[in-house]
Amino acid sequence: MTTTDLAAMTGLELMRWVQTERPTDIPSIGRLLGMRFDEVEHGRVVVSLDTRPDFANPLGTVHGGIAATLLDSAMGCAVHTTLPAGTGYTTLELKVNYIRAARTDGQVLTAEGAVIHAGRRTATAEGKVVDERGKLIAHATTTCMIF
């Protein structure tokens, strides 16, 4: 297990630590799905993953929950980058619009989340998921509660 004091880090420091260290000993949805933190900056995060057959819905395309999870992660982590050490957040609302299906054959899906507003009690963000050709798969907005 890691000996790094994660609670002492600002949100931006923690997200950059996850990006560079890629910890495998900390259970997370990112580890489960094989997410990569491609870009981390204040108020903006880009994550990606490679699709696989395990992500299939009954029709054989990527389940919408994978896109929703990518969006929730990218937007939530973007909010996290704006927070001081010792401050938490949780998703209050997530609104996803699905545009097209994605394949399960190793296609790279990339989600970008960007903060629209970071207040004392709530934050809002927007995001999009694109495939490796830049085609829009889904887009979303979120509201997060800060605590």
| CA angle (61 as vertex; 60, 64 as ends), nearest 5 | 125
Residues 37-53: pLDDT tens digits?
999 999 999 999 999 99
| Number of neighbouring beta carbons within 10 Å of residue 106 | 10
Task: Per-residue pLDDT tens, the chain, 147 aa: give them.
Answer: 456 788 899 999 999 999 999 888 888 999 999 999 999 999 999 999 999 999 999 999 999 999 999 999 999 999 999 999 999 999 999 999 999 999 999 999 999 999 999 999 999 999 999 999 999 999 999 999 999
Residue 74: exposed, middle, or buried by beta-carbon count in 10 A (0-12, 13-18, 19+)?
buried
